């Protein structure tokens, strides 16, 4: 288990912040609050993901609080990550910033070129759902990825359907839909070259970002001021 903080994400945070400020121009306070809320977590994940190559980690970075509040959130995430590592041996668990990145190889969750969740995948997602129930103050971004075999359009659609299938299964286990966001990135965020079978296998994956919800971030910040 290791903490990861990417310096490359800092320019993206500036970009995201600039977007929020620009979007808020001329809005009421209530409207501004809605824009700022929407520009955290999953929304900012796409912006930062373009800069860092990881939408999942971008979501976590976009939800960073920092300071004493961030330390409180980080401590809770430390404990949750340790438990996930013990209970989900089929996944890679990493602490990133003030959140957790969970990576499932697609072969664990899905058969090749399919969105039907395998029995082992269901067990893994059940353990994840149990953890999310125990730690209810987080939001979850589910990101599907493919290798580069096939057309861009097909891969994007497959990755989206896989992310949605994982989300639907978590919902069937009583994880509130309001906590879950599912997106597909197709072949656009590879972690290995696609010119070998081993590399393509690693690129076929589902990444899950767990980060403090906006409500919990505000609650913790209020309690640490």
Strand order in the sheet with 3-4: 3-4, 91-96, 99-105, 205-212, 138-145, 180-184
Distance between CA 208 and CA 140 in Å, rounded? 7
The tokens for 153 are 């359009």
Question: Is the C-alpha dihedral spanning 179, 110, 103, 183 positive or negative?
Answer: negative
Distance between CA 45 and CA 160 in Å, rounded? 16
Distance between CA 57 and CA 44 in Å, rounded? 10
Alpha helix ranges (H) inside 88-225:
106-109, 119-134, 152-172, 197-203, 214-224
Q: How many CB atoms lie within 10 A of CB 212?
A: 29
CATH homologous superfamily of 66-224 equals OmpA-like domain (3.30.1330.60)
**pTM for the predicted model, two decimal places:** 0.81
pLDDT, tens digit only, all 225 positions of the chain: 333 344 344 444 433 443 333 434 444 443 333 334 433 555 666 677 667 778 999 999 999 999 999 999 999 999 999 999 999 988 999 999 999 999 999 889 999 899 999 999 999 999 999 999 999 999 999 999 999 999 999 999 999 999 999 999 999 999 999 999 999 999 999 999 999 999 999 999 999 999 999 999 999 999 986
């Amino acid at each position: 288990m290791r903490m990861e903080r990417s310096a490359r994400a800092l320019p993206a945070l500036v970009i995201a912040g600039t977007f929020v400020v620009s979007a808020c121009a001329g809005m009421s306070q209530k409207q501004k609050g809605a824009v700022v809320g929407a520009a955290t977590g999953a929304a900012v994940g796409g912006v930062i993901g373009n800069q860092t190559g990881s939408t999942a980690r971008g979501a976590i970075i976009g939800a960073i609080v920092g300071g004493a509040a961030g330390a409180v959130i980080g401590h809770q995430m430390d404990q949750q990550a340790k438990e996930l590592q013990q209970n989900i041996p089929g996944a890679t668990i990493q602490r990133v910033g003030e959140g957790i990145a969970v990576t499932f190889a697609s072969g664990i969750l899905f058969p090749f070129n399919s969105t039907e969740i395998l029995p082992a995948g269901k067990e893994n997602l059940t353990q994840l759902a149990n953890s999310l129930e125990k730690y209810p103050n987080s939001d979850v971004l589910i990101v599907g990825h493919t290798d580069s075999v096939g057309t861009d359009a097909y891969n994007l659609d497959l990755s989206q359907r896989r992310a949605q299938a994982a989300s639907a299964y978590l919902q069937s286990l009583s994880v509130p839909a309001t906590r879950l966001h599912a997106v597909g990135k197709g072949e656009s965020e590879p972690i290995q070259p696609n010119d070998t079978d081993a590399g393509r296998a690693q690129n076929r994956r589902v990444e899950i970002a767990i980060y403090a919800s906006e409500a919990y971030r505000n609650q913790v910040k209020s309690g640490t001021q």
